[in-house]
Structure 1
Amino acid sequence: MSQSTTDQNDRRIGNDDASTEEDGASAATPRHSALRGWLAVVGLALGVFSFVTTETLPIGLLPAIADGTSVSVGTAGFLVSGFAAVAALTAAPLTALAGRVDRKWLLVTLMVIYTAGNLLAAVASGYGLLLTARIVVALAHGVFWSVAVSIAVRLVPERHAVRATSVVLGGISLASVAGTPLGTAVGQSAGWQAAFVGVGILGFLVLAAVLLFMPALPARGSGSLGALLHVLRHRALRVAVGVTALIMSGHFLAFTYVAPYLEDVTGVRSSLIGVLLLVFGAAGLVGNFAAGAVVGRALRTSLIGSTGLLAVVLTVMYAGGAGVATAVTLLVCWGLLYAALPVALQTWVLRLVPEESEAASSLYVAAFNGAIGVGSFIGGLIVDSSGPRPVMLAAGAFAFAAMLLTALGGRREA
């Protein structure tokens, strides 16, 4: 028997197991209304919005945080890169260890940790305590991302699974449009501690939504570290994780340094950069929900098209990009294409190993967060040596590699 046939049998058996577990879950828990299910999905989207806002919150406040804690701006920057590193390293093992906990009460625990960590950051007067608070939140961050979408698709009818995924992941784009800019504005006007109080209050709101609308959801999967070894045996999942690592490294390689690119290459005034980033986020919000209408019908085609077109956009930005009108057009295209990727990638991962969907998602989360650090680091080396323009070409190469891996690896698995 070939490896491909074995993997297909594994998936078929996993689907049967998942169906059996779902039937058992339905019998063990009260039926919840469709409205209550969608309200719980919206609560999860608010949770995604909260976590993404918290992750990126220090970026716009680094000078103030550095002054307030008596460290350099570079050291203060570790509050972002260190956060991503901790989330990447702990997402898979912590999710596996929490595999037997009812998902409602796991979410309650995660939001309590999230809220406590941010309120601890708000009262921190020194860098050590602030970094500790960030690490506490990062531990919850990786697990939340690993389970949020897999929980959302259990709250709605199966035919609405991709739509629920796009609603939950819409919190990413919404954080770019509203969360991070508002957090920065609050921190600049009322002090950086006030910004952490604000995201702490968001945590209370998400906690309330979970308690009010989330039904009891028995855990799925084996609930052990062995689940990670099980999902790693699936070749298609390894391909999906590899594509995630490539495309997200490329995105953050370029996007981390988009501000100096816009200033130095396109000649955009610094006062307009914030507006252009809002345009990028708004385009992403549109792209996120547009992806929900396409991904369910043509997943592989969506991934190949998004990664390939993103490679083209980034290459054009390297080759030209002069002028505000061109910059706006390219940023809109970038935002639309990038926002489709988390929806498509997360849907891909969930479909591959349904019997261990959360363990599989934890590997995806680890790759995603690891890519933030890797991409930003490579981009920094390029900017320091050659300026911001070449980062677009390097990012385009990562996107092209992701497209090839999707096309070739995905076809072999099919």
Structure 2
Amino acid sequence: MSSDVCRNAPDTGPETAADKERKASEPATSSWAAVFSLAVGVFGLLTAEYLPASLLTPMAADLGISEALAGQAVTVTAVAAMLSGLLTASLTRKVDRRTVLLGFTVLLTVSNVLVAVAANVAMLLLMRILLGIALGGFWSMAAAVAMRLVPAASVPRAVSIIFSGIAVATIVAVPVGSYLGELSGWRSTFVAAAVLGVLTLVFQWFTLPRMAPHGSARLGTLWDVLRRPGFGLGIVGMLLVHVGHYALFTYIRPALENVVGVDADKLALLLFVFGVANFAGTLVAGWLLQLSLRLTLVLAPALMGGAALGLALLPAGQAGYVALVILWGLAFGGVSVAWSNWASRMVPDHAESAGGLVVVGVQSAIAGGAAAGGVMFGFGDVTTVFTISGVVLLASALLIMLRVQAPGHHAGH
């Protein structure tokens, strides 16, 4: 797209085929209903991913397995999402993007229905792999599809709306899943998630336009994208930010109990407030990205790192600690939005492949961050986790500010 990306040097050469293709695919008008249908899709996918966290005990008891084995329902989803994120662009390169997205929503629905009737753990895990395929593929395509639903200037806002589905799922999935599980059993909770999938499919069927495939992605494209000037270093910055966050987030409960000093009743409320701040952060990021991509990329880890160090080292008092938790939630809300925008702007001609690499980076950082947090927690305590992670986040902000390329909107910049 002519207004999608700016290079460090002005582009004086002839217009390439990729440039023409991007211009041809940029819409003249905005399809905001389609954007909201994708946000609902992301919400449904992430809700389904998070559900086992609140239902592990009844799931394990019903299937006659250990909670640790039931917990693998989350692991297999993440691994399948990584592979799907990598492979979707190349395997579906000749298929209309509308068809691919609707296919992922069908997979989401089928997965939830079959999990609800699963007679054994093998069936459960197989259906969670289906969910992972839908999750990774959908996420990898989100920013690229946004570029085809709204004009270039509106892409940051569109991506922030789509990814707000993640934040809403973070707030809703665990408490609602837990409540429904207590009310009518864990299987009925997955039936409810399947109903959400059907409603999402109907919404997307009527709002998503046909989007002819560009058809150029191959497996080798992923390597080509990684070798683009500045892209690999950006991915390193993104990994550091996510590892820092997930090392913290894994230990948010002991931090709230031991550092902030909240009791069990207030814990749920504060986690809810964290989630609401996270949702607000995705929307603020959409506005901030229209001002400056670099500022958004740097500000999020800087604020998160400052909040982590404040929680670990400052005698802030309970009100002060709560404010720091809200700041952390608000700042993290902008991270997924900012990096998806960054990837699609760095490589607008292969935005889906770039999105796939972002998905793999995020999913591996979730696992790596949780593991790193565990090691730090083993050596010290929750204060150690928050201090080291805070330093990592501030270092990542510095790296991004000094070394990571951040293309802007307009070719004339």
TM normalised by structure 2 equals 0.90
- 1:152 and 1:24 map into 2 onto residues whose CA distance is 15
TM-superposed CA distance for 1:70, in Å, is 2.0
Letter matched to residue 115 of structure 1: T
- 1:220 and 1:10 map into 2 onto residues whose CA distance is 26
- 1:392 and 1:184 map into 2 onto residues whose CA distance is 28
TM-superposed CA distance for 1:382, in Å, is 2.9
CA, structure 1 residues 95+180, in 2 after alignment: closer, same or farther (shift >3 Å)? farther
Pick aligned residue for 1:132 from 112, 126, 129: 126
TM-superposed CA distance for 1:96, in Å, is 2.0
Secondary structure of 1:71's counterpart equals coil
CA, structure 1 residues 173+148, in 2 after alignment: closer, same or farther (shift >3 Å)? same
**Sequence identity (%):** 33
TM-superposed CA distance for 1:162, in Å, is 1.0
- 1:131 and 1:14 map into 2 onto residues whose CA distance is 51
- 1:228 and 1:149 map into 2 onto residues whose CA distance is 16
Structure 1 match to 2:170 = 176
TM-superposed CA distance for 1:411, in Å, is 5.7
- 1:353 and 1:284 map into 2 onto residues whose CA distance is 27
Structure 2 match to 1:21 = 21
Letter matched to residue 375 of structure 2: L
Letter matched to residue 135 of structure 1: I
- 8 Å CA contact 1:237–1:360 kept in 2: the answer is no
Structure 2 match to 1:319 = 313
Q: Does 1:189 align with 2:183?
A: yes
CA, structure 1 residues 161+72, in 2 after alignment: closer, same or farther (shift >3 Å)? same
Q: Does 1:155 align with 2:149?
A: yes
Q: Spell out the pairing of 1:1-400 with structure 2 (5 A cutoff).
A: 16-22=16-22, 24-25=24-25, 34=30, 37-220=31-214, 222-320=216-314, 323-400=317-394
- 1:342 and 1:323 map into 2 onto residues whose CA distance is 31
TM-superposed CA distance for 1:126, in Å, is 1.9
TM-superposed CA distance for 1:377, in Å, is 1.7
Q: Point out the structure with the larger helix share.
A: 1
TM-superposed CA distance for 1:191, in Å, is 1.2
RMSD: 2.5
Letter matched to residue 293 of structure 2: L
Note the residue ranges of structure 2 that are not aligned, 5 or more in a row: 1-6, 409-413
CA, structure 1 residues 272+16, in 2 after alignment: closer, same or farther (shift >3 Å)? farther
Note the residue ranges of structure 1 that are not aligned, 5 or more in a row: 1-6
- 8 Å CA contact 1:266–1:322 kept in 2: the answer is no
CA, structure 1 residues 411+131, in 2 after alignment: closer, same or farther (shift >3 Å)? closer
Letter matched to residue 21 of structure 1: E
CA, structure 1 residues 339+120, in 2 after alignment: closer, same or farther (shift >3 Å)? same
- 2:357 and 2:188 map into 1 onto residues whose CA distance is 34
How far does the alpha carbon of each residue in 1:95-135 deviate from its partner, in whole angstroms, 9 at most, with x for none?
32212211000011111111111111111132221111111
How far does the alpha carbon of each residue in 1:279-325 deviate from its partner, in whole angstroms, 9 at most, with x for none?
01111121111111111221112211221121111111111467532
Letter matched to residue 69 of structure 1: L
- 1:272 and 1:404 map into 2 onto residues whose CA distance is 35
Letter matched to residue 357 of structure 1: A
- 8 Å CA contact 1:44–1:152 kept in 2: the answer is no
Letter matched to residue 214 of structure 1: L
- 2:91 and 2:165 map into 1 onto residues whose CA distance is 26
Letter matched to residue 333 of structure 1: L
Secondary structure of 1:154's counterpart equals helix
- 1:254 and 1:334 map into 2 onto residues whose CA distance is 10
- 1:412 and 1:211 map into 2 onto residues whose CA distance is 35
TM-superposed CA distance for 1:215, in Å, is 0.9
